[in-house]
Structure 1
Amino acid sequence: VTALSYSGDVLSFVNEKKVSYSYLHGGNDSNVVATDVYVSVNEFVEEGDLLVRIAGSDVTQLIQNEVDAINNAYQDIEGIYKRIDKINELKSKLMVTAPTDGMVAYVNYREGDEIIASEQSDQWSLMLMDVYNTDEMYIYTTVSDLDVLYISQDAPVTVTVDALPGEIFEGKVLRLDSYTDYRTGETVYNVQIKVEGREGLRPGMNTNCFVDSGESLDTLLIPIEAVFEENGKQKVEVLVGENEVEVVEIEVGLMNDMYVEVLSGLEEGQLVVTGSTKDLMPSQSVPENGSILPVKN
């Protein structure tokens, strides 16, 4: 048996499926654009594989409409979030919180009171309350022109409080300044003291401050009552005879509430006048034993 052989071309496929735009869209004659082609010739595909992505004017407009609707929805949502943020901001401004740890010392308004803010309002009418820090408190006091010479910044200070007997607080000199009292014309020296606070110490309490201005050993002391100022210089009256006194200029050093250190101008053993005999009580007299205090007759 002789085999027969022929040559020819494959003209069609069995079960051929032609894919066209009109097939998919029912004969719509509108122009379309193939935006993406995902297959090539002789490539095997399975049912459901993506072949071509197309777009026409109607489809493009439909998609754009949907995109615009989504963008508008996003804008609406963004506007809602902004309104929510604004409401939360307003709510936060209505909630007044403590600016620091501390104790409430003063409350200016009660529940139900109306707070009026206007051009005529001052800082006190707008103040809701006063909160002070109990860890650090400040004491303001005045000193004489004699004492201010021996007070320096950062000098240690021991503080006692009349309302807290036995309690001692530590502090230091924070600042010194001065001003002229317009009523008397005198210069007033202010001292600001920073004190370490703790439970019990309250604003307005009366305090006693002891500034450590140093110490001096083996020095010459005289009663503070004996010192007076004349022409800007420190002087004392020295007893030179039975009934005679001499004014002597001295240089002073450290001092406290009772004694003054004399650096120059006096010698040990000299007698200084601390006051007039007119200041003595009828039952007192000037002693002859060197005591600095009068004695009873």
Structure 2
Amino acid sequence: MDIALEKKRFTPKRIALIIGAALLIGFIIFILLSSSGSTKLNIDRERISIHAVKNGVFQENIPVNGVVMPITTIYLDALEGGRVEEKFVEDGTLMKKGEPILRLSNTDLELSLVNQETQVYNLLTQMQRTQNASRENTINKLNQLTEVKSSLREAERKYKLNKKLFEKGVVAKQEYLETKNNYNYQKDRLALTEKVLQQDTISSKQENVQVRESYEKTRKALELMRKKVEDLVVRAPVDGQLTSLDAEIGQSKSKGERLGQIDVISGYKVRADIDEHYISRIYAGQQGSFNFDGNSYQLVIKKVYTQVTNGRFQVDMTFMEEAPEKLRRGQTLQIRVALSREKEALLIPKGGFFQETGGNWIFKLSEDGKIAYKTDIQLGSQNTEYYEVLSGLEPGDQVITSSYSNYGDIQELVLKD
């Protein structure tokens, strides 16, 4: 008789499957725990920069490069074109106002001057002739007037005499009427002569005025022409140093062409280039500072040039006090231009960490200073030395400000001495 065998619950195959599944689950759990847990990196303390977060006076500023320039520059342009005939001085000479720098020649201009002078002399001669003729004509008219008056007096005398004699019957009526008609004729003649003289006087005055006006216009044109010829000698407009002189003997210069410049060396200004990103925040009256020869100097923006070239615009800055004695034209200065007023703020020194974090987080040291861990932060404005901390840190916290470029996704840094 057969005996029924009890079926085994855990066979070796089943046991192997269970063990394999348990190992797989354990491996998955290990991977998950490893990936979710914080990764650490050992690092030498000497290879990093550690700074304390602190409260301090903060002012937002930007660094700009400025070039030292004369406070005033007068440009020398050719007022008239011509050929360079003579140079009286060389580039770099200290000039006094009115001293000659160079001489140009222009034959067309000089010929025009001669023609203009001839025209003026002709008009002057014509004016003198007109005045002489007018005087002679006036004298003749006055002589005629005198004769007419004399004839009128004689005619009046005869008329009055014959009238009395006619009334007494001494003279004939015909003779009386002749003297009367002559008397009336002489009266009309006098009135006509006076009217002609008056009109002739007005006409002479108008003619003289016209001739004189024509003469004055031509004379002024002559003066202008002489001034243009005088401008062929280029002179220093102010006291200063001649720079950038671009003229050689025999060289032709066009009207309006730049010849050089005069730098007024009574003082200096600084012309700075600024990124166009800040153009809406830069205005006249803002201040800047720079260090020179161990001292700090203050500048103030006097003029803003709003034209943007290659992503940058320019400003002119002047010294609030005396400029440094050793300062020279053309020197480059590193200037900090203030964009805000001073205020109390929580500060972090600037460092390479910002390039990797964008200011969103930072490695903060533990209280014992042995571990640094990621901490979310929020930064505000910045200047050449500090970032303004808005949140995430407290005064006294120790943070790593050096570069994080080699840390990858490390969550914690273990600091080793």
TM-score w.r.t. the length of structure 2 is 0.39
Letter in 2 for 1:137: K
Give the whole-Å Cα distance in 1 for the aligned partners of 2:221 and 2:328.
41
Pairing partner for 2:376 from 248, 270, 282: 248
Cα deviation digits, residues 188-210 of structure 1 (max 9, x gap): 56562521386886653212213
Give the whole-Å Cα distance in 1 for the aligned partners of 2:247 and 2:295.
34
Pairing partner for 1:234 from 359, 362, 376: 359
Question: Is contact 1:228–1:235 with CA below 8 Å preserved after alignment?
Answer: no
1:245 to partner: Cα distance: 5.2
Question: Is contact 1:215–1:254 with CA below 8 Å preserved after alignment?
Answer: no
Aligned to 2:390: 263
User: Which of 1 and 2 has greater Rg?
Assistant: 2
Q: How does 1:21-100 map to 2 (within 5 A)?
A: 21=152, 23=154, 31-33=185-187, 54-57=190-193, 61=196, 68-69=203-204, 71-92=206-227, 95=231
Q: 3-state SS of the aligned residue for 1:266?
A: coil
Give the whole-Å Cα distance in 2 for the aligned partners of 1:62 and 1:160.
88
Pairing partner for 1:139 from 267, 271, 275: 271
Q: 3-state SS of the aligned residue for 1:204?
A: coil
User: Residues 256 and 66 of structure 1: is their aligned pair in 2 closer, same or farther, counting only changes over 3 Å?
Assistant: closer
User: Residues 20 and 33 of structure 1: is their aligned pair in 2 closer, same or farther, counting only changes over 3 Å?
Assistant: closer
Question: Is contact 1:220–1:263 with CA below 8 Å preserved after alignment?
Answer: no
Aligned to 1:195: 318
Aligned to 2:351: 224
Tell me which protein shows more helix as a share of its residues.
2
Aligned to 2:244: 106
Stretches of structure 1 that go unaligned for 5 or more consecutive residues are 1-18, 36-53, 118-124, 182-187, 279-285, 290-297
User: Residues 98 and 20 of structure 1: is their aligned pair in 2 closer, same or farther, counting only changes over 3 Å?
Assistant: same
Give the whole-Å Cα distance in 1 for the aligned partners of 2:389 and 2:243.
46
Q: How many equivalent residue pairs?
A: 221
User: Residues 244 and 168 of structure 1: is their aligned pair in 2 closer, same or farther, counting only changes over 3 Å?
Assistant: closer
Q: 3-state SS of the aligned residue for 2:253?
A: coil
Q: 3-state SS of the aligned residue for 2:271?
A: strand
Q: 3-state SS of the aligned residue for 2:274?
A: strand
Tell which has more relative contact order, 1 or 2 (C-alpha 8 A, sep 6+). Answer: 2
User: Residues 205 and 62 of structure 1: is their aligned pair in 2 closer, same or farther, counting only changes over 3 Å?
Assistant: same
Give the whole-Å Cα distance in 2 for the aligned partners of 1:252 and 1:189.
24
Question: Is contact 2:356–2:404 with CA below 8 Å preserved after alignment?
Answer: no
Q: Identical aligned pairs, as a percentage? A: 16
RMSD of Structure 2 on Structure 1 (CA): 5.1
Give the whole-Å Cα distance in 2 for the aligned partners of 1:215 and 1:253.
12
Stretches of structure 2 that go unaligned for 5 or more consecutive residues are 1-149, 159-181, 407-413
1:69 to partner: Cα distance: 4.7
User: Residues 239 and 217 of structure 1: is their aligned pair in 2 closer, same or farther, counting only changes over 3 Å?
Assistant: closer
Aligned to 1:158: 289
User: Residues 66 and 202 of structure 1: is their aligned pair in 2 closer, same or farther, counting only changes over 3 Å?
Assistant: farther
Letter in 1 for 2:274: T
Cα deviation digits, residues 219-253 of structure 1 (max 9, x gap): 343343332376xx523441568787536343134
Give the whole-Å Cα distance in 2 for the aligned partners of 1:111 and 1:32.
81
Question: Is contact 2:152–2:187 with CA below 8 Å preserved after alignment?
Answer: no
State yes or no: 1:209 paired with 2:332: no
Give the whole-Å Cα distance in 2 for the aligned partners of 1:86 and 1:108.
31
1:81 to partner: Cα distance: 1.4
Aligned to 2:253: 115
1:129 to partner: Cα distance: 3.4
Aligned to 1:294: none
1:274 to partner: Cα distance: 0.4
Give the whole-Å Cα distance in 1 for the aligned partners of 2:305 and 2:400.
33
1:110 to partner: Cα distance: 5.7
